[in-house]
Each structure stands twice: as C-alpha cells, then as structure tokens.
Amino acid sequence: MLGSPTDPLTITVPIPPTTKESREAAKALASKKGEEAMFALREARGAQRKRLRAMELGKQVGPDDLRRAEKEMEKLNEKAVQEGKKLVEGARKGLDGG
C-alpha cells in the first residue's frame, strides 16, 4: 500500500529489513571511507609540515612561532583523527543494530 486512506498527503513505503550481507558490505565501506579520511589527514599534515619547514628555512618564522605552530597542528590533527575514528565506530555500531 503506497497511500494512506486517512491522509492523502502522506505516502507510506514499506522498506524491507537489511540483510546480513548488505550490513557487512556497508560496514566494510564505512571502514574503507574511514581509512581514506585518515590517509587524507596524513597527507594534509605532511603538506603543512613541509610548509612550516620551508618557512623555517626561509627565516620567515622564528623558532618559538614554529614550535607553537607545530604543536597546534599536532593538536588539531589528533582531534580530527579521534573524531574520524569515533564516526567510523559509530557507523559500524549503528549498522550492527546497537
């Protein structure tokens, strides 16, 4: 039944439950996307380290500012990694039904 006899503006579409295979495939995809995100974070971190190193060699930034920037970059990177892991784990748990 696609329509509701009591409310003509509502469409009800029955959706069958997911199969074990489709849940496993979705969990694998979530893990793969999580790994891709971690790789992108590593790439961005490496690119930023190169920029900071170039600024250091070009004497555009002092050693104190450089250390502060590196520390801030590491803190932001760690926060992003933890958030990414939490998102992937949450997606996997949601697909398990718990």
Q: DSSP state, 16?
A: P
Q: Is the pTM of this model over 0.85?
A: no
Angle at 87 between CA 40 and CA 95, to 5 degrees: 120
User: Where do the domains of the chain lie?
Assistant: 40-96
Four-point Cα dihedral 90, 42, 67, 57, nearest 10 = -170
pLDDT digit string, tens, across residues 33-87 = 999 999 999 999 999 989 988 988 888 888 888 899 999 999 999 999 999 999 9
pLDDT score of 56:
86
Residue 3: is its pLDDT beyond 60?
Answer: no
pLDDT digit string, tens, across residues 13-25 = 888 888 889 889 9
